Structure 1
Amino acid sequence: MDKTATVLSSLLFLFTFLTTTSLSKDLCNQDDKNTLLKIKESLNNPYHLASWHPETDCCSWYCLECGDATVNHRVTSLTIFSGQISGQIPPEVGDLPYLETLVFRKLTNLTGQIQPTIAKLKNLKYLRLSWTNLTGPIPDFISQLKKLEFLELSFNDLSGSIPSSLSTLPNIMALELSRNKLTGSIPESFGSFPGAVPDLRLSHNQLSGPIPKSLGNLDFNRIDLSRNKLEGDASMLFGANKTSWSIDLSRNMFQFDLSKVELPKTLGVLDLNHNGITGNIPVQWTETPLQFFNVSYNRLCGHIPTGGKLQSFDSYSYSHNKCLCGAPFDNCK
């Protein structure tokens, strides 16, 4: 073999060695890997987590994401979704200190209460525990997660009252607590979130009592209080100077006069059906870009204003009121 061939052979060997070494390098932090293997064991080693093998790099495992070199490739996201998984949330989830996203979703055999060790996840920004069979209360310790931006606990069997401490979360952008068995009133403290006003979804629960007047000081982009047992005046949620996009108060027991209620010029969704609301529909409502609208099953009366989007909705949107008239109904006499 001549000198040129020898050099080429050596370079090829070196390239192959370096490539193989690079590809086989385990980026995953060993502590994180050990924790993840414990989580898998706690969930009875489900097939959904078959890729979680101790001989492979955990940063390549299904349901996981690792951060870049700035956080030494620590596990930053754990998302377990729609698998055949039973048991409770493993307590070991609290031992992933760099976790920013934690999701257990559409796992109907996931039971028990919300795991207390989640309070250790000080970097958590996104917590989604939904479409499971979690029970017990919404724990107060969630308020310790000061970086939390999104909280969804919907479609569970959670009970008890809503912790007022959730309003102390400084970075929260969305609170989704719908479709549980929550009782009691909406906390007064929900009128004073320290940061931006979050989207608030509390529908399909058993909440009761009046809405705190302090909520009138906030400009919600989306608020959904539908299908509860709330009562009294909800007119403080409206206002021509607000920028709300969606307001759903349907299927409660609200009673207030609609006549002087001004809608935000930005409102696209308004649902007030099945309440005890009185008065007439203001002319100002013709100025809003409504895409969905329903005021049926109330006690409204008077002429439906013409113009804008109000005539684009069929009679069902206005049905079962005391004495509404004008299109889409018969002309007023």
Structure 2
Amino acid sequence: MTTKLFLIVFIFLSYTTPSLSKRYCHPQDKKVLLQIKKEFNNPTLLSSWKPNSDCCQDRWHGIHCNHKTSHVDSLDLSYDHNLTSQFPPSIGNLPYLVNLSLFHLPKLTGQIPQSISKLTNLKVLSIGVTNMSGPIPNFLSQLKSLVTLNLSFNNFCGTLPPFLHLLPNLKEIFLGGNKFTGPIPCSYGYLNDEYPNFPNLELSYNQLSGKLPMSLGRVNFSHLSLKDNKFEGDASMLFGANKMTEAIDISWNSFTFDFGKVELPKTLSILDVSHNHVYGNLPAGIENVSWLNVSYNRLCGEIPKGGHDHDVYTYIHNKCLCGSPLPSCK
């Protein structure tokens, strides 16, 4: 009976207790992480990264591991105003990374190092609210698994990267709040071309200029923001009755087109075309847009009745719009 009980307990423990020989933190990954800590200048943020502890089991700050492989698959560091360093090139030596997020590190400087191109499993690259600078390097085109590219609110400059359409899984691009100049590449009309429903393109708060490429009208954006740039000319290709777009913000540019000829997507709930040179009448269905701003344009005609109630600031400073909430039409 004692022998049988021992066997039962032994079998139970063998299924419920991790093997004593299992390495929870892959030794090569641990070595790389300690090198990254050194390249970060050993910040207080990474005080939990200790050589005598386990990077997975002991919950090193910002680290997540795949417990099937013992490899680090996520590095997420944020909100540290004291971390002062350049971007650590050794991050490129974590080949199993799926997520890399460095957010709100205002003293993080330097350019994106070429070693990042080795992260071929990366799905999310997020570098935001830092002091990093320089152009977006072409070697990012090697990150074929990338789904989200977020480089918002840094000091990146130069022209927009023209190669993004070569990333077959890319669905979200956030490049707002930088110092990009020049036009939007024609290739952006072929983003994720096999399935042209593209959730998010955010290019606001840059110094972009020129006319929009007509190819951009091919893409069925869910959320699109070109706010506060120097664009001009026609933006009507962004609209369409058959699109599934939910939000469009093209405010604070110099767009010039006949708004009355635009067909709005039925799914559109947020629309801001304010501070442009848009003319003509308000398009059919605009009363159904829940958040709307068409102020500071050259629009005319009667404001449609019904639908959502919008205040006077939605329509002010146009050439000859009339009707509630503006003065009545004569």
Provide TM-score, normalisation by structure 2.
0.92
Q: 1: CA distance between counterparts of 2:37 and 2:154?
A: 23
Distance 2:134 2:285 in 1: 45
1:291, CA displacement in angstroms? Answer: 2.2
In 2: Cα distance, 1:129 partner to 1:276 partner: 34
Query: Hey, what's the Cα distance between the residues in 1 that align with 2:100 and 2:179?
Result: 23
State the Cα deviation string for residues 71-105 of structure 1 (Å, max 9, x = none).
Answer: x2111000111123111111100100100000111
Which string of whole-angstrom CA distances, capped at 9 and with x for unpartnered residues, describes residues 32-83 of structure 1? 00000000011111111111111111112110011131xx211100011112
Aligned partners of 1:162 and 1:122: how far apart in 2?
22
Judge which range, 174-183 or 40-49, deviates more.
40-49
Q: Distance in 1 between matches of 2:224 and 2:153?
A: 17
Candidates 158, 161, 180, aligned match of 1:160: 158
Which of 52, 55, 59 lines up with 1:58 in the alignment?
55
Residues 313-332 of structure 1: pairs in structure 2 closer than 5 A: 313-332=310-329
Q: Match for residue 242 of structure 1?
A: 243
What is the DSSP-based 3-state SS (H/G/I as helix, E as strand, rest coil) of the residue aligned with 1:154? coil
Name the CA distance, whole Å, in 1 between partners of 2:208 and 2:62. 35
Quick one: distance in 1 between partners of 2:190 and 2:237? Answer: 15
What is the distance in 2 between the residues matched to 1:291 and 1:45?
A: 49
Correspondence for 2:128: 130
Q: Which amino acid aligns with 2:303?
A: I
Distance 1:330 1:201 in 2: 36
Counterpart-to-counterpart distance in 2, 1:158 and 1:296: 31
The answer on whether the counterparts of 1:172 and 1:195 sit within 8 Å (CA) in structure 2 is no
What is the alpha-carbon distance in structure 1 between the residues aligned to residue 194 and residue 131 of structure 2?
31
- The answer (yes or no) to whether the contact 1:33–1:58 under 8 Å persists in 2 is yes
CA distance in 2, matches of 1:79, 1:190: 29
Unaligned runs of at least 5 residues, structure 2:
none
TM-score (norm 1): 0.91
> Which one is further off, 58-67 or 170-179?
58-67
Q: Distance in 1 between matches of 2:268 and 2:190?
A: 23
> 1:284 aligned to 2:281?
no
User: Higher helix proportion, which one?
Assistant: 1
Please report how far the alpha carbon of residue 26 of structure 1 lies from its aligned counterpart in structure 2 after TM superposition.
3.7
1:1-333 mapped onto 2 (5 Å cutoff): 26-59=23-56, 60-69=59-68, 72-83=69-80, 84-193=82-191, 194-196=193-195, 197-198=197-198, 199-286=200-287, 288=288, 290-309=289-308, 312-333=309-330
After TM superposition, which residue ranges in structure 1, 4 or more long, deviate above 2 angstroms?
Answer: 18-26, 194-198, 282-286
State the SS of the aligned residue for 1:300. strand
Q: Partners of 2:328 and 2:178 in 1: how far apart?
A: 44
Identity between Structure 1 and Structure 2 (%): 51
Say what the alpha-carbon RMSD is for the aligned residues.
2.5
Partner Cα distance (1:61, 1:23) in 2: 21
Supply the distance in 2 between the matched residues of 1:315 and 1:120 (Cα, whole angstroms): 54
Whose radius of gyration is greater, 1 or 2? Answer: 1
Offset at residue 21 of structure 1 (A) = 8.3
Q: CA deviation at 1:285?
A: 2.4
Distance between the aligned counterparts of 1:20 and 1:55, measured in 2? Answer: 23
Report if the CA contact (8 A) 1:262-1:285 is conserved: no
SS in 2 for 1:264: coil
Question: 5+ residue gaps in structure 1?
Answer: none
- C-alpha distance after superposition, 1:102-146 (max 9, x if no partner): 011100000011121111100000000000000100111111100
Q: Is the 8 A contact 2:23 2:70 kept in 1?
A: no
Call closer, same or farther: CA 1:195–1:93 in 2, change over 3 Å. Answer: farther
Equivalents in 2 of 1:46, 1:19: separation in Å? 38
1:155-186 deviation line (CA, Å, top 9, x unaligned): 10111001110121100110000000000100
CA apart distance, 1:284 = 3.1
The amino acid of 1:36's aligned partner reads L
Task: Kindly indicate whether the alpha-carbon contact (under 8 Å) linking 1:140 and 1:166 is maintained by their aligned counterparts in 2.
Answer: no
Q: Is the 8 A contact 1:204 1:227 kept in 2?
A: yes
For the 8 Å contact 1:282–1:305, the answer to whether it is kept is: no
CA distance in 1, matches of 2:262, 2:33: 54
